[in-house]
Structure formats: C-alpha cells, structure tokens
Structure 1
Amino acid sequence: MRREETVDHNIKTAWHGIARMYNQQALKYDATMSMGFVLLNINSEEGTPATKIAPLMGLEARSLTRLLKSMEEKELIYRQADKNDKRSVRILLTKEGKQKKEKARDTVLRFNEVVRQEIPESKINVFFEVLRKINSIIDRNIYEKPE
C-alpha cells in the first residue's frame, strides 16, 4: 500500500493544510493557531480552570505552560485564583484576548461555512461517522496485532 493510500496519511495531510491556513490567518493578528484554540476554549465571562484547558485541546498540561506564558506576555489572558478553591487557578481573557477570540471564532466559522458550501451535507455526515469510528478504533487499540 502506498503512503498516499493510508488513512493516517490523508488525515495528517489534511490537518497540516488546515493548520497552515489557520496559522496564516492568525499571523495577521500577531497570534498562532494554538493561541486561537486556547482562546476558543476559555469561557469569555467566567474564565476556565487552567487544568481544564489542556484536556479540551487534547494536550498534555506541560505542553500548554509555555503557550499560556506567551499569551500572558501578549496580554491576551491573565491568571486569577479561583474564588471557591484558592488552590485552583482560572485563566481569564483580557479585552484584547476577547477580541482575538472573536477573530479566531470567525475564522473557524468561515472555514466551516466554505467547506459546507462545497461538500454536500450527506458526505459531511459520512465523514463525521468515519472519524468517530476511527476514534473508537484508536480508543480500543484494536489495530494492534496480538503478539
């Protein structure tokens, strides 16, 4: 089987294309795609516990630390002790962070709008069904050959 015929190659290629597109858009606002995804995962009013952001994005907590520091330096977010649990830290958006979150949201919605204009709903439904099945296979590890 050629590499171009494998499921993972096609998913990876598509994701890299999407990531490049999002990064090009984010650069216009002095940001990155990763920053945009973090902003999208922070509740605009109440903030979000720092420990909840990484799982929402499918990241390890330590991978998020540098990104949050960079976003603080750019004054997109700030940290605040949780009112109910002083051991917990909430990440909140600054005014600038809220504005960039809207830009990120608009970019994601526009991309999805264009995709849905180009691809019939029935094919998108099959695509989502296939991705759910692939995730199920990954979760069950049934792709591994028994030793």
Structure 2
Amino acid sequence: MKEKTIDYVLRATWMAVSKMYNEEAGKAGSTMATGFALLSIDPEKGTPSTSLGPKMGMEATSLSRILRTMEDKGIIVRKRNPEDGRSVLINLTNFGLEMRNFSKGVVLRFDEAVKENVSEEDLRTFIEVAHTIMELINNKKIYKPETSAK
C-alpha cells in the first residue's frame, strides 16, 4: 500500500510502543500488561477487582490470568473488601509498589522523550485527533449498529 491508512499508522505505532514497553518491562522481569495493571491499582487503598477490568479495558479472563501471575510473583495480594464483603480488593505488596514505581518511571520517560521531540502544538493536535477517533467509535458514527428488520 503506497499511502498508509490511518488504521495502519495507529496499529504500527501502537505495536512499536507495546514492543518498547515489553522490552523495558522485561528488564525488571515483568510485562507491559503487568505494568499497566500496576498503574491501574490504587497504591494506598487498593482497587476492587471488579472495577479493574473496565478501568484497563480488558476482558475478565485476560485480567484473571495477569492477576494470578502477579499474585504468584508476590506483587499483589487479594483482600476482602471491608465495604462490600462480596468483592475483593487488589492491593500492592511492597514489591508491587517498587514495580509500580518502575512502571511509572518507564511511562514518564516515554512522555518526556515524546515531548522533547514533538512540539506542544503537534502534540495537542495528536491528542485532539485521538479523542475524535475515540468519539467516532464510541458513538458508533463509523459503523452503524444493525437494526432489526420489521
């Protein structure tokens, strides 16, 4: 394809970012998915397991696998939610807090590098375009939902 589609640019860029994050996470024996989970867990109060999936945009089965691995590595502990005995809070261990700080540093370094190499105006435009794309998708303005024939 001579001219790249918007979809291609988005996918190729995200794949490069994902690979970069996985390489950095690998230096600490982790993965990008684990880092993302660490950054989504409240470091002080913990986070209900039921709200973690939607917060991360993940399916329950994928999230369960990540949480099980994190628990096996001593990064998190599951505790009964004192406000709702039916739910579980995901809390970071001391090792989990260290890993969270590492993940946060990786993300902040990426942000710094982009901001050092992209003008404020271009970055603002990029963010506006990304928001517009998300709005088009969320409001089903690209592909209309099928209506039932009556």
TM-score of the two chains, using structure 1 as the length reference = 0.94
Alignment of 1:103 with 2:102, yes or no, is yes
Residues 68 and 58 (structure 1 numbering): CA distance in 2 closer, same or farther, change over 3 Å? same
Task: Give the deviation of 1:62 after TM superposition.
Answer: 2.1
Map 1:1-147 to 2 at 5 A. 2=1, 5-144=4-143
Task: Give the gaps of 5 or more residues in structure 1.
Answer: none
Q: Which runs of 4+ in 1 moved over 3 A?
A: none
Alignment partners' CA distance in 2, 1:3 and 1:54: 38
Task: Give the deviation of 1:4 after TM superposition.
Answer: 5.2
TM-score of the two chains, using structure 2 as the length reference = 0.93
Alignment partners' CA distance in 2, 1:40 and 1:26: 13
Task: Give the deviation of 1:144 after TM superposition.
Answer: 2.3
- Give a deviation string over 1:105-140, Cα, whole Å, max 9, x none: 000000100100000000000000000100111112
- Give a deviation string over 1:3-22, Cα, whole Å, max 9, x none: 75211111111001000000
What is the number of residues matched between the two proteins?
A: 146
Task: Give the deviation of 1:146 after TM superposition.
Answer: 8.8
Task: Give the deviation of 1:145 after TM superposition.
Answer: 6.7
Alignment partners' CA distance in 2, 1:19 and 1:46: 28
Calculate the aligned-residue CA RMSD, in Å: 1.5
Residues 146 and 19 (structure 1 numbering): CA distance in 2 closer, same or farther, change over 3 Å? closer
Residues 145 and 45 (structure 1 numbering): CA distance in 2 closer, same or farther, change over 3 Å? closer
Task: Give the deviation of 1:70 after TM superposition.
Answer: 0.5
- Give a deviation string over 1:45-91, Cα, whole Å, max 9, x none: 11000011111111112220011000000000010000111101000
